[in-house]
Amino acid sequence: MPIRTLAATLLCAGFALPAMADDACKAHSGERIVPLVELYTSEGCSSCPPADRWLSARLADTPLNWLAFHVDYWNYIGWADRFADPQYSARQRQRVNAAGASTVYTPQVMVGANVRVAWQSASAFAHAVEADEGIAPLDLALSLGAGPEGIEVSLAALDKQPAGASTRVWLARYVDDQQSRVRAGENSGATLHHDRVVTRLWGPWQIEDSRLERSLRLPADSSDWGLVAFAQDATGRTLQSLGLSWKACTSGTAKPAQQAANGH
């Protein structure tokens, strides 16, 4: 999918999103870091459904951004996960290696540089989230607008405290409320429910001269989907994350831009 440079200009004291359309839905990150929770899961793994349910149950009551990456290395046992992508398996290995570890597994929950979060423990999970919070060294902004040829997406980033070449930015598209009737493998006969399933991942992009601007076009889609932009350093530490739901935009329930970051 082509990615082109935006005409908008980032400003030293902040930045403005480009004018996509009069009814564009916009979000801007806040002063504090919004931690990103990454779940690595698979429909072929019998221990994964509890983690999938845990993620879904936490969406409404936590000011975090969540992404579920479905890996492909369970497909060999007889059930091909329709959401699995080798890119997500590679990302899992890269994140583990960056943390100085070597073992990947499912379900695996990561929060920032912590790649072995004990998600079953409320206190351990809370501690992992707290460790990834703080004042954000980076601003993110997202814009979604209905264009004549699909959904116009704008992403902008401003590094307020330049951290050098280690800062990388990604953009993930996710879908919610997905059902799968599994007919083989370890979960044969089960009907699984998924939320925040990553269906596309763009990046990583390096911030140059403290700024990054990207735009892309997505086909119109009636599913319950959204985007999460996030920045991480070489260790995986979250520098900022920002979510924007297309459903919230079209239903008129999206928060004002300065509040839509789910921040504190």
Q: Is 15 part of any domain?
A: no
Q: How far apart are CA 97 and CA 225, in angstroms?
A: 30
Query: Mean of the pLDDT values across residues 138-166?
Result: 88
Short-list 232, 196, 197, 230, CA closest to 99 = 232
What pLDDT, on a 0 to 100 scale, did the predictor assign at position 161? 78
Per-residue CA distances from 64 to 2, 61, 68 (Å): 30, 9, 13
Q: Is 220 part of any domain?
A: yes
What pLDDT, on a 0 to 100 scale, did the predictor assign at position 12? 31
What range does the domain containing 44 cover? 22-251
Q: Is 10 part of any domain?
A: no
Q: Is 2 part of any domain?
A: no
Q: Which carries the bigger pLDDT value, residue 77 or residue 252?
A: 77
Q: Is 64 part of any domain?
A: yes
Q: Is 55 part of any domain?
A: yes
pLDDT, tens only, 20-57? 344 569 999 999 999 999 999 999 999 999 999 999 99
The model's confidence at residue 165, banded by pLDDT at 50, 70 and 90, is low
> Which residues share a beta bridge with 217?
152
Q: Is 243 part of any domain?
A: yes
Short-list 202, 86, 117, CA closest to 155 = 202
CATH number at residue 64: 2.60.40.10
Q: Is 140 part of any domain?
A: yes
What predicted TM-score, i.e. pTM, was given to this entire model? Answer: 0.87
Q: How far apart are CA 84 and CA 110, in angstroms?
A: 18
